[in-house]
Structure 1
Amino acid sequence: MADSDDEYIGSSGDERGKRASNSRKQKGAGDAGKERWEEIQRSWDNVVEGADGSISAAVVGLLEQNKRKRLLKDTTPLQRGIIRHLVLVLDLSIAMEEKDFRPTRFLLQLSHACDFIKEYFEQNPISQLCVIGMCDGLAKRISDMSGNPVEHISAIRKLRANGVEPKGSPSLQNALDMARGCLWNSPTHGTKEVLIVFGALHTCDPGDIHMTIKAMVQDKIEVRIVGLAAQVAVCSELVKKTNSGSLAGYGVAMDEKHFRDLLMANTTPPPTRQANTNASTLLTMGFPSRFSNPGHPTLCACHSNPITSGYMCPRCMARVCALPTSCPACSLTLILSTHLARSYHHLFPLANWVEVARHDVKKRSPKLCFSCERPFPKLAALPPSSTVAATGDLATKRTSNAPVPGVKAVPSISSTGRYACLDCGKWFCVDCDIFCHEEVYNCPGCEADPEGKEKRQREKEALAAKETAQTGQSSAAQGDAMEIDG
């Protein structure tokens, strides 16, 4: 020990400072000699005091920015699978005992998993889901494939009620093999997906996981991962190969809120990437009628529990207690018309509304929101647009729509508290903006005037056709000119 201690030569602070300065000099000019941790943007850096010395106006702007952050996304209509079959894989290994997420990774995972299941079936009412856990190098099934969210939530809550604690190491290969078994009998008209919450930095597999990844690709199963520690190479490879080379489905949570956002982002159906899924297929569905016999209970065909009210299959007259589900007798998909209608908003999303500029408010100023009829905030009580950090340009995302007179798109968070629909030109508050995009999925102004909406749509189509014709004529003229010059 004495010899080894004598051989160790510690470096002084000056030497460490020289090495750090030399490493900074070796960086490119774009880094400006700064480390990544030195460029952290704090939320209070953009807060500016108002004329009265308070920061209330800036706080209002930051709250509005948080509300609008989720809506700053692409609303291009894409082909999506609205009948989903998802396997949720939870990490129950010893790595989930870490307390970097409050109170622990394990408890936060269970809480967010219950919220995810509720939101998943709210957004995808005709889809199905099952839950799998990873612990002790094995994979165990927590709940079976079903379309009833109550069963999955109760199964997850039993983990905490029964005193289950994280232990052992996770096994991605065993979890993927069990997920393949759960999705083996899934119909071809539905999507096959696996969502993994992974908190460890390693995986304990009994065999070659790369062979399992190839099998997942052959079965056309898409895998997405939400990490809690750091990015893992095998996880990146798994997501990249099962998502046609895209790594958008792999994210590492930085805090509790980011973890929830990454998890909730998977409630939206992914766009279809397979070329052979473009062919139209017909799917038989049944719309059962509701029955009620208060004095004469009967057994349901799905759980064999006594019920006094439920739904009756239109094909075999079997009785089930909840919808949507598959008939246990004839395997007919049983849903309500509201479930089917609620699933189509993913295929035809409501376009983002644009912000109204201050000078437009002075020219044309409706005092009330068109939807809730609450008065708009005064301009003096709101911060200028320069004090709120811009998070996206909504105007560039709606270039296909014709501008509405009196409405101007501002490439930042609105400093007026007013948002306008480009189709009808009506003005709305930020709360109605959030509600219409996340709950209603329709514009109240467009629905109030359907004839005007159709008329404006025809005008847009005529304008687009005219522009296309002019572009073709100019291209032909250029071609003739080139021939003459030649």
Structure 2
Amino acid sequence: MVSDEDYVGGSDDDVDIGASSSRDALAGTRSKSTRANKESSGFEVTRTWENLTEGADGTITGAVEGLLQAGKRQRLLKDTTPLQRGIIRHVILILDLSVAMQEKDLRPTRYHLTIRYASSFVSEFFEQNPISQLGIIGMRDGLAVRISTMSGNPNDHISSLHELRKQEPRGQPSLENALEMARASLFHAPTHGTREVLLVFGALHTADPGDVHLTIASLVKDKIRARVIGLAAQVAICAELVAKTNNGDRSNYTIVLDEQHFRELMMELTTPPITSAQTKSSSSLLMMGFPSRTVETHPSLCACHSRPSREGYLCSRCGSKVCSLPAECPACGLTLILSTHLARSYHHLFPLVNWLEVHWADAWRSSHCFACGRPFPDVPPSERWGDEGEGLSGRYECTVCSRHFCIDCDLFAHEVVHNCPGCQSGRGVGDAAKGDIERGVDAVMEGREERAGLATNGNAKGDKMDTG
């Protein structure tokens, strides 16, 4: 082969020197290009352990507690504006069971982590939405597999998910088949509830026998809303599915960053979606029954499972016995619930407002948490307020009753009971916390007198008051 350029000969030394210089130049060029790429890409490697600083005792306990506190306070980012939401939900959970779920970027694998989080999601879903219905569908071998039918019993869904642990993911997913099966399951859902599809998608493609765009158009026609969690990367067809079924809103399509983020995204799906003006239907009356629990002397068959039992609930319309509530009467079709189920569903419509962090200047009003009685840290001198958590005292105040709570009670009140213990107690601040406020005022006044050098004047005033 003849080169277009002229050959220039040289000695072996020249070749060695030239090669070494070329290697040095190449290494320098690579290092410069690497630095340039890092600067231009905008990505930065963060080492979280470098941000941990030792405390006065030589340990990182304080830093770790600070990280835990910051994680708990992420709940404040949630919007607590009262909005109209559908409290009676009909949801189909679609899980990807294809070979793409064998990847180990999510430990132990995408498959096992998805099943574990799906079980937690089912429990939390019925805890937050006790009068809703749920069904689970899987995608494998280019087919849609029904894992559990539409039901309001979480035990049935969890047991079906546990059976999946014994199987392995295989084949390719079919988004069209899964959406068609979900559409068929939601087709007969009543109009007073929401129709939703929750998709956990780990693949980057879909093997469909037909036109999936026609299926998406059918979902829009049937007023079925889709929400997608991607485990790999964003897929165009999933983005189109979310946008068209949510009136152009793509915020319901999210990509998982890590295991903790995956769990947070799954738990966010337990909150009912906002009912927009386009999807809002006319008001209608819904007939429900509130049966009482009964205990029979002799076992009889229940109408839901045909199992002999002595305990159960009798339908208020036809008298059929069902095992547990909430449920739909198998004989007459009446929705059977308890009053507590209905009350627990309404907390989505009227969420508990976020509590405010209390500054050290107002921390004298409380010495213990109103809910659990845990003692609060003592109020430091005012010159140290900037060093103690940037002036925050670790107390959280309800804006309605002005009670102070610890962060654990704050988290428990907003995520579990959805009520403020201070507001539910029915007592004013002056009635229950009078002693704490008086002790706090005395402590603050004594501290101010000592710091200002007014101890002598204070004693003099005290003498005058005693003699007067």
TM-score (norm 1): 0.78
Alignment of 1:324-473 (within 5 A): 324-361=326-363, 364-378=364-378, 415-449=392-426
**1:251-310 superposed Cα distances (whole Å, 9 cap, x missing partner):** 11111111111111000101012436253221000011211124x221111111212111
Bigger mean CA offset, 444-453 vs 206-215: 444-453
For 1:183 and 1:145, locate their aligned partners in 2 and report how far apart those are by CA, in whole Å: 9
Partner of 1:316: 318
How far 1:97 sits from its partner (Å)?
Answer: 0.8
For 1:428 and 1:158, locate their aligned partners in 2 and report how far apart those are by CA, in whole Å: 43
Bigger mean CA offset, 207-216 vs 175-184: 207-216
How far 1:20 sits from its partner (Å)?
Answer: 5.5
Partner of 1:217: 220
How far 1:21 sits from its partner (Å)?
Answer: 6.5
Q: Is the 8 A contact 1:244 1:273 kept in 2?
A: no
Q: Secondary structure at the match of 1:76?
A: coil
Partner of 1:258: 261
For 2:327 and 2:399, locate their aligned partners in 1 and report how far apart those are by CA, in whole Å: 39
- Alignment of 1:197 with 2:203, yes or no, is no
Partner of 2:291: 288
Partner of 1:138: 143
CA distance 1:319–1:372, change in 2 (3 Å) = same
Aligned-pair identity (%):
57
Partner of 1:304: 306
Q: Could you tell me which of 104, 109, 112 is aligned with 2:114?
A: 109
Q: Is the 8 A contact 1:58 1:387 kept in 2?
A: no
For 2:124 and 2:386, locate their aligned partners in 1 and report how far apart those are by CA, in whole Å: 33
How far 1:56 sits from its partner (Å)?
Answer: 2.4
Q: Is the 8 A contact 2:191 2:281 kept in 1?
A: no
CA distance 1:347–1:425, change in 2 (3 Å) = same
How far 1:335 sits from its partner (Å)?
Answer: 0.3
CA distance 1:15–1:207, change in 2 (3 Å) = farther
For 2:40 and 2:422, locate their aligned partners in 1 and report how far apart those are by CA, in whole Å: 50
Partner of 2:190: 187
Q: Is the 8 A contact 2:99 2:169 kept in 1?
A: yes
The letter of the residue matching 1:198 is F
Q: Is the 8 A contact 1:61 1:415 kept in 2?
A: no
For 1:19 and 1:50, locate their aligned partners in 2 and report how far apart those are by CA, in whole Å: 41
Query: Relative contact order, CA 8 A, sep 6+: which one is greater?
Result: 1
How far 1:83 sits from its partner (Å)?
Answer: 0.3
Bigger mean CA offset, 276-285 vs 14-23: 14-23
The letter of the residue matching 1:442 is N
RMSD over aligned Cα atoms: 2.4
How far 1:365 sits from its partner (Å)?
Answer: 3.9
How far 1:72 sits from its partner (Å)?
Answer: 2.5
Q: Is the 8 A contact 1:47 1:58 kept in 2?
A: yes
The letter of the residue matching 1:418 is R
TM-score (norm 2): 0.81
For 1:347 and 1:450, locate their aligned partners in 2 and report how far apart those are by CA, in whole Å: 25
How far 1:13 sits from its partner (Å)?
Answer: 4.4
Q: Could you tell me which of 238, 242, 254 is aligned with 1:235?
A: 238
Q: Which runs of 5+ in 2 are unaligned?
A: 1-22, 431-468
Partner of 1:275: 278
Partner of 2:132: 127
Partner of 1:29: none
Partner of 1:36: 42
For 1:12 and 1:92, locate their aligned partners in 2 and report how far apart those are by CA, in whole Å: 47
Bigger mean CA offset, 127-136 vs 440-449: 440-449
The letter of the residue matching 2:152 is G
**1:338-395 superposed Cα distances (whole Å, 9 cap, x missing partner):** 000000000000000000112322xx24111111111013467xx987897xxxxxxx
Q: Secondary structure at the match of 1:338?
A: helix
Q: Secondary structure at the match of 1:279?
A: coil
CA distance 1:180–1:386, change in 2 (3 Å) = farther
CA distance 1:36–1:379, change in 2 (3 Å) = farther
For 1:172 and 1:181, locate their aligned partners in 2 and report how far apart those are by CA, in whole Å: 14
For 1:189 and 1:180, locate their aligned partners in 2 and report how far apart those are by CA, in whole Å: 17
The letter of the residue matching 1:372 is C
The letter of the residue matching 2:60 is I
CA distance 1:118–1:372, change in 2 (3 Å) = same
For 2:339 and 2:271, locate their aligned partners in 1 and report how far apart those are by CA, in whole Å: 20
CA distance 1:435–1:279, change in 2 (3 Å) = same
Q: Which runs of 5+ in 1 are unaligned?
A: 1-9, 25-32, 389-411, 454-486
How far 1:126 sits from its partner (Å)?
Answer: 0.2
Q: Secondary structure at the match of 1:374?
A: coil
CA distance 1:309–1:177, change in 2 (3 Å) = same
Partner of 1:483: none
For 1:266 and 1:169, locate their aligned partners in 2 and report how far apart those are by CA, in whole Å: 26
- Alignment of 1:248 with 2:264, yes or no, is no
Q: Secondary structure at the match of 2:198?
A: strand
Bigger mean CA offset, 262-271 vs 65-74: 65-74
Aligned pairs, number = 404
CA distance 1:340–1:214, change in 2 (3 Å) = same
Q: Secondary structure at the match of 1:180?
A: helix
CA distance 1:326–1:48, change in 2 (3 Å) = same
Q: Is the 8 A contact 2:88 2:193 kept in 1?
A: yes
Partner of 2:433: none
CA distance 1:385–1:165, change in 2 (3 Å) = farther
CA distance 1:218–1:13, change in 2 (3 Å) = farther
Name the larger-Rg structure. Answer: 2
For 1:88 and 1:387, locate their aligned partners in 2 and report how far apart those are by CA, in whole Å: 46
CA distance 1:37–1:186, change in 2 (3 Å) = same
The letter of the residue matching 1:37 is F
Bigger mean CA offset, 268-277 vs 232-241: 268-277
